[in-house]
């Protein structure tokens, strides 16, 4: 179920909170099994046929971790990581690689058409983080319920944030309902939920109306006018931010309602003054994962400039492929790898750039590469790029109002997390958030209620 749906907001979440409150009061030892059960109900609502995949994934990885603790055979962890990646590859990339192989003369392989289980990329990466750290001697043993909850905790199972075991597992043994700030946590959780809903429904979904018609037309072969191209490109730049950061705010808020603090995922990314700075602010938990579990093992900055550049290119290209089984995503990741490599060479040469110029160059690079991320093919992307350069036909005027509002909010800040921690308890603030929530519920009833963009990854 979607966070921005009636079934979640008016049925599942209230019922889950009521059950959680009852268990906390009368049977605290049942809290973690209850949260795990709720997570499976939440996940299974999408398609119950994927539940065995999630459950077997948790059970098998936990059993391998148990075997490793007894035998200390590193090959077990290596095999488990390979198996996790193989399952991810089967569901997400089988068709993509079949298409690539079919480019060879004489080959005509059938293209597998497998439904993509929601959240498979995210819970696969959670397995990899834990198993890798277990092999390195950093991660302790957890029982099956705790490990299952780490993987399947419903606020973050579908689209993150990517949570390290060390950030959440100790919280499962705490008793947040006994802490002095329990009411403040709950209130902040509600505020984050409402802010995330507003960002997603009132801004992100509105911007979709600026973006989708243009990219759909480009995908169908229609030339794109300059105004439409800039409208769609800037619109998607802010749409994906408000859509994904709105989801993250909701995830953090819902987790807080159950006494769990998840890591932040965005830190005003469009203020970045370099591409390196951008990736420290955008999808921060993914950036950490790519750095710690891919870039550093590939050599990082420890073996000279050539290895470092190669590690950057490989990391970002694979990061692009993780986002989607398409060459446009690979090109998007490679472009960011090249941009990061250029920034590395710039710093090595001890060159300087004024912050304002750095911001302008970074923002322009990011919005231009978002075209590759959003377009369904290179041909569609080229049509949008042609429009951006003024090479398309004359067309309608540029729609700017919602883009201007989104730009102001995303650049001025603060983040939702910072905002709810600055707000002091006041009755009128509670009333304001309640009104915002009711208005969003009315908005959810129209036909422009979209799924979250990152659910497809």
The catalytic residue positions are: 323
* Residue matched to tokens 């309602």: 257
Nearest to 131 by CA among 51, 69, 40: 69
Cα–Cα distance measured from residue 450 to residue 448, given in angstroms and rounded to the nearest whole number: 6
Nearest to 450 by CA among 239, 283, 265: 239
161 prior amide bond cis, ω within 30:
yes
Nearest to 414 by CA among 294, 281, 317: 281
From residue 398, how far is each of 221, 231, 232, 420 by CA, in Å? 21, 6, 9, 35
Q: What DSSP letter does each residue of 127-142 carry, written as one string? A: HHHHHHHHHTT-S---
Per-residue burial over 8-44, b if 16 or more Cβ lie within 10 Å, else e, is: bbeebbeebbeebeebbeeeeeebbebbbbbbbbbbb
Question: 285 near 263, Cβ under 8 Å?
Answer: yes
Nearest to 421 by CA among 191, 177, 163: 191
Q: What DSSP letter does each residue of 40-106 carry, written as one string? A: HHHHHHH-GGGHHHHHHHHHHHHHHHHHHHHH--HHHHHHHHHHHHHHHHHHHHHHHHHHHHTTSTT
**Radius of gyration of the CA atoms of the chain, in A:** 23
From residue 20, how far is each of 31, 70, 168, 258 by CA, in Å? 7, 35, 18, 8
């Amino acid at each position: 179920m979607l966070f921005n749906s009636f079934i979640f907001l008016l049925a599942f979440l209230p019922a889950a909170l009521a059950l959680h409150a009852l268990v906390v009061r009368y049977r605290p030892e049942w809290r973690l099994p209850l949260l795990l059960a709720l997570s499976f109900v939440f996940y299974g609502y999408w398609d119950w046929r994927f539940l065995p995949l999630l459950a077997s994934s948790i059970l098998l990885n936990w059993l391998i971790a148990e075997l490793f603790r007894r035998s200390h055979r590193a090959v077990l962890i290596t095999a488990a990581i390979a198996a996790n990646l193989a399952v991810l590859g089967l569901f997400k990339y089988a068709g993509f690689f079949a298409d690539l192989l079919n480019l060879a003369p004489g080959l005509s392989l059938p293209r597998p058409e497998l439904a993509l289980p929601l959240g498979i990329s995210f819970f696969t990466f959670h397995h990899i983080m834990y198993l890798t750290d277990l092999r390195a001697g950093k991660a302790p043993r957890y029982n099956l319920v705790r490990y299952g909850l780490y993987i399947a905790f419903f606020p973050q199972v579908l689209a993150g944030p990517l949570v390290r075991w060390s950030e959440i597992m100790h919280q499962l043994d705490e008793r947040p309902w006994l802490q002095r700030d329990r009411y403040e946590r709950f209130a902040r959780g509600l505020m984050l939920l409402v802010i995330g809903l507003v960002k997603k429904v009132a801004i992100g979904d509105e911007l979709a109306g600026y973006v989708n018609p243009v990219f759909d037309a480009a995908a169908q072969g229609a030339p794109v006018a300059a105004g439409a191209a800039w409208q769609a490109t800037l619109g998607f730049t802010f749409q994906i931010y408000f859509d994904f950061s709105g989801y993250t705010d909701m995830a953090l808020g819902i987790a807080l309602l159950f006494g769990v603090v998840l890591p932040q995922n965005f830190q005003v990314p469009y203020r970045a003054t370099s591409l390196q700075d951008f990736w420290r602010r955008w999808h921060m938990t993914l950036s950490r994962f790519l750095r710690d579990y891919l870039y550093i093992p590939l050599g990082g900055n420890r073996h000279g400039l050539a290895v470092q550049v190669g590690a950057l290119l490989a990391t970002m290209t694979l990061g692009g492929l993780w986002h989607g089984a398409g060459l446009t995503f690979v090109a998007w990741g490679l472009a960011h790898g090249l941009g990061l490599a250029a920034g590395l060479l710039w710093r090595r040469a001890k060159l300087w750039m004024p912050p304002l110029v750095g911001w302008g160059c970074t923002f322009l690079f990011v919005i231009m590469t978002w075209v590759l991320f959003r377009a369904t093919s290179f041909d569609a992307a080229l049509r949008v790029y042609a429009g951006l350069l003024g090479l398309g036909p004359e067309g309608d005027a540029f729609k700017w109002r919602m883009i201007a509002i989104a730009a102001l909010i995303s650049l001025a800040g603060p983040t939702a997390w910072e905002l709810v921690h600055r707000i002091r308890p006041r009755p009128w603030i509670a009333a304001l958030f309640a009104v915002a929530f009711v208005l969003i519920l009315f908005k959810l009833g129209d036909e422009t209620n979209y799924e979250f963009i990152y659910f497809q990854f």
